[in-house]
Amino acid sequence: MTELRTIHPATTALLIMDVEPSIVAQLPDADAFIGGLLRAREAARTAGLTVGYVRVALTADDVATVPASNLTFHAAAVTGRLLDGPDTEVDPRIAPGDDEIVVRKSRVGAFSTTDLGEQLAGRGVDTLVLCGIATSGVVLSTVRDAADHDFSIIVLEDGCFDRDPEVHRVLTEKVFPRQGEVVSIDDFIASLA
């Protein structure tokens, strides 16, 4: 991990991604993970950062259009695992505030099936602080897409989770640093003080 550069709150957004009851339930210590995200979010709110949430959920129309070639989402469509409902809302322990961004996506990355880019641009955001589940899913896809959209990127290493610890390690130590900064939640919070 690297030392975090100066964060400008007016142009920075914390994005909490795919933290939904159906996904969080798979974590070995969900309460501790959510606790870390709550600390990061409260520090971001206090400092005046934009806070946004990205959730994955399929509507009936989405289900009808997922081709068999999309292995992940076709399986979710067939089983109904990601159908839009209470289990695909943001986990109530970290529920969004009234003025915070919430987008629903129907694919892995945060940008491709949402208006997130437009909402961030409308708020003057040029820097993203990313966290969520899974490191090899939404975080990886969003890091890559955000870099292509010329955002500055910060990834909260312990604010991300992957079922495969080695994949998490390789992404946070070797891949993400090529696109942005990787820091701990504590270092992020300290940078806002």
How does pLDDT run across 112-171, given as a tens digit for each residue? 999 999 999 999 999 999 999 999 999 999 999 999 999 999 999 999 999 999 999 999
Largest CA distance in the chain: 48
pLDDT, tens digit (0-9, with 9 covering 90-100), for 43-101:
999 999 999 999 999 999 998 888 999 888 888 888 888 888 999 999 999 999 999 99
pLDDT, tens digit (0-9, with 9 covering 90-100), for 23-37:
999 999 999 999 999
> How many CB atoms neighbour CB 34 within 10 A?
17
Structure tokens at 115: 């208006």
Residue 186, pLDDT above cutoff 90: yes
| 52 touches 16 (CB < 8 A) | yes
Residue 2, pLDDT above cutoff 70: no
pLDDT, tens digit (0-9, with 9 covering 90-100), for 142-155:
999 999 999 999 99
| Residue 5 pLDDT grade (very low, low, confident, very high; cuts 50, 70, 90) | confident
In this predicted structure, what is the pLDDT of residue 1?
A: 47
Q: How far is CA 45 from CA 2, 24, 96, in A?
A: 23, 22, 11
